[in-house]
Amino acid sequence: MTTSTSTLSDLTELTSHYLQTEVEVRVADVTRNLNPRAEGTYTVKVRNADAPRGIRLHDVTVHIKASSDVVQLSANAPTMLETRAGGSRSEPLLPDDALVQELYVFFPDVSTGVEPNDVLEPGEELAFDMPYRANRRGTAQITAHVHASFLTTDLFPRTNGPSNGKDVTVG
């Protein structure tokens, strides 16, 4: 039997490490070569690692940024998705017509039964399209990363140990 030593304080670092190394976030299908004041779209794809390495993610939120004011991100998210200026679900929603340099995209709470939701299973991928606006000539980069948490029951599931017994003779 092999063992390793970890402390509770390691869990924060391990969570961050998992999100950075096991969850793939891609910005793809960006509308290119727009003129100033034209609108385009981009796709964000988030994919959790496959089982057995993958761990169920909860409260999944995608943080999107534009690197310069060459472009601005539109808060007009697809139906059922919500955009906010900050990473807390308690912050006010951005108006659909808001143009910003960064935003957070929230998915419906898993308890609503709506798909997609804010839980990402091992091997699962979320993909959604978002609009943006070209402001002026130049180059900008749109980046995205995920914020999420784990439940202790996912990390440390209730299991059973080995069975042991003793024969009983009757008679």
| CATH code: domain of residue 58 | 2.60.40.290
Average pLDDT over residues 63-85: 95
User: Per the domain annotation, does 35 fall within a domain?
Assistant: yes
Q: Parallel, antiparallel, or unpaired: how do β-strands 39-47 and 82-84 relate?
A: unpaired
The CA distances from residue 114 to 48, 65, 79, 118, 153, in Å, are 19, 26, 11, 10, 23
Task: State residue 87's pLDDT score.
Answer: 94
User: Per the domain annotation, does 158 fall within a domain?
Assistant: no
Q: Which residues pair with 47 in a beta bridge?
A: 24, 125
Which three-class secondary structure state does DSSP give residue 43?
A: strand
User: Per the domain annotation, does 65 fall within a domain?
Assistant: yes
Task: State residue 6's pLDDT score.
Answer: 67
User: Per the domain annotation, does 43 fall within a domain?
Assistant: yes
Per-residue buried b or exposed e for 43-80, using 16+ beta carbons within 10 Å of the residue's own CB: ebbbbbbeeeebbbbbbbbbbbebeeeebbbbbbbeee
Q: Phi first, then psi: give them for residue 55, nearest 5 degrees.
A: -125, 140
Residue 144 · residue 25 · CB < 8 Å: yes
User: Per the domain annotation, does 131 fall within a domain?
Assistant: yes
User: Per the domain annotation, does 164 fall within a domain?
Assistant: no
Domain around 27: 13-152
Preceding peptide of 116 cis, ω within 30°: yes
User: Per the domain annotation, does 136 fall within a domain?
Assistant: yes
pLDDT digits (tens, 9 = 90+) for 83-106: 999 999 999 999 999 999 999 999
Going by pLDDT thresholds of 50, 70 and 90, the confidence category of residue 8 is low
Give the global pTM.
0.86
**Size of the chain in residues:** 171
Distance CA 171, CA 18 (A): 59
Domains of the chain: total: 1
User: Per the domain annotation, does 3 fall within a domain?
Assistant: no
Q: Which range (31-40, 104-113, 156-165) has the least confidence? A: 156-165
